[in-house]
């Protein structure tokens, strides 16, 4: 039987979560202690649909409805680690989905703007984020491939959907010294790209291979 704690967590889920951090993240080289701590705290199962909660700490993505998924914990950790976030950073997230990564960003940075094209996913992410008490997050319904110019520039941008090529609008919203992590490539396989804005020029580092749902944008995409 599961014991509930005051935060709505359960002792078995918190045990699974700590094991996830040790065996799937730290053991595979995720080094940013703030990322590991945040992933030890944020209850991933609360962002998963009811029927997948018991799988929330396993080493794979989970369906969240609308044909979308919450990324595998290791990929999330890898992307957050690459961004080297500091507590004063302002962050843009493209692809709120369940709101899980949004919650982690809210723990790691000062202000988070998160864009989601599906109104229903945005609504349920807003609900769970509010329930968890985050006040430094805005979820915006819209096409994130165009970014959110109103509040740019951003110190960091994280894109959780696969772009066929680097969206220029997002590059333009990256602050000097800012970092962006984004999967780039065709639908069946992409590569993470880490971009750092230096003297007004994007410096690109190619990182791990990955597979994300598509970043849907432009004409005829809906």
Q: Is 124 a catalytic residue?
A: no
The residue (of 81 and 116) whose beta carbon lies closer to ligand SAH is: 116
**CA 70/CA 92 separation, integer angstroms:** 18
Coil, strand, or helix at residue 71?
A: coil
Q: Which of 75, 83, 91, 94 binds ligand SAH (CB under 6 A)?
A: 94
Catalytic residue among 11, 23, 71, 124: 71
Collapsing DSSP states into helix, strand and coil, what is residue 29?
Answer: coil
Per CB under 6 A, 100 contacts ligand SAH = yes
Q: Is residue 98 within the footprint of ligand SAH (CB under 6 A)?
A: yes
> Residue 76: beta bridge partners?
none
3-state secondary structure of 171: helix
68 scored as a contact of ligand SAH (CB under 6 A): yes
Q: Which of 101, 105, 108, 197 binds ligand SAH (CB under 6 A)?
A: 101
Residues 74, 75, 80, 84: is their CA dihedral positive or negative? positive
Residue 19 φ then ψ, to 5°: -65, -40
Give dist(CA 11, CA 66) in Å, integer.
Answer: 31
- Count residues near ligand SAH (CB under 6 A): 25
Helices (H) and strands (E) counted in the chain, each on its own, are 6, 9
Selection from 38, 62, 37 nearest residue 48 by Cα? 62
Element spanning 113, H or E: strand 111-116
* Residue 116 contacts ligand SAH per CB under 6 A: yes
> What would the x/- binding string for ligand SAH be over residues 198 to 217, using CB under 6 A?
---------------x-xxx
Work out which of 118, 126, 132, 179 binds ligand SAH, going by CB under 6 A. Answer: 118
Among residues 44 and 176, whose Cβ is nearest to ligand SAH? 44
Q: Which of residues 150-189 bind ligand SAH (CB under 6 A)?
A: 160-161
Summarize as ranges the residues that interact with ligand SAH (CB under 6 A): 64, 68-71, 94-95, 97-98, 100-101, 115-118, 121, 143-145, 160-161, 213, 215-217
């Amino acid at each position: 039987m599961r014991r509930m704690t005051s935060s709505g967590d359960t002792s078995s889920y918190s045990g699974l979560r700590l094991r996830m951090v040790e065996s799937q993240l730290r053991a595979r080289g995720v080094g940013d202690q703030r990322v590991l701590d945040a992933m030890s705290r944020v209850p991933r199962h609360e962002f998963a649909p009811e029927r997948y909660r018991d799988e929330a700490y396993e080493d794979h993505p989970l369906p969240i409805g609308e044909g979308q998924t919450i990324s595998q914990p290791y990929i999330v950790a890898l992307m957050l680690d690459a961004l080297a976030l500091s507590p004063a950073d302002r962050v843009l997230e493209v692809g709120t989905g369940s709101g899980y990564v949004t919650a982690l960003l809210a723990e790691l940075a000062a202000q988070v703007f998160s864009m989601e094209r599906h109104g229903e996913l945005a609504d349920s992410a807003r609900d769970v984020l509010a329930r968890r008490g985050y006040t430094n997050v805005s979820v915006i319904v819209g096409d994130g491939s165009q970014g959110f110019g109103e509040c740019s520039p951003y110190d960091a941008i994280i894109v959780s959907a696969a772009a066929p090529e680097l969206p220029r609008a997002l590059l333009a919203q990256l602050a000097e010294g800012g970092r962006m992590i984004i999967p780039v490539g065709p639908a069946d396989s992409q590569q993470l790209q880490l971009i750092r804005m230096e003297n007004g020029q994007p410096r690109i580092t190619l990182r791990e291979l990955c597979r994300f749902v598509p970043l849907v944008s432009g004409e005829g995409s809906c």
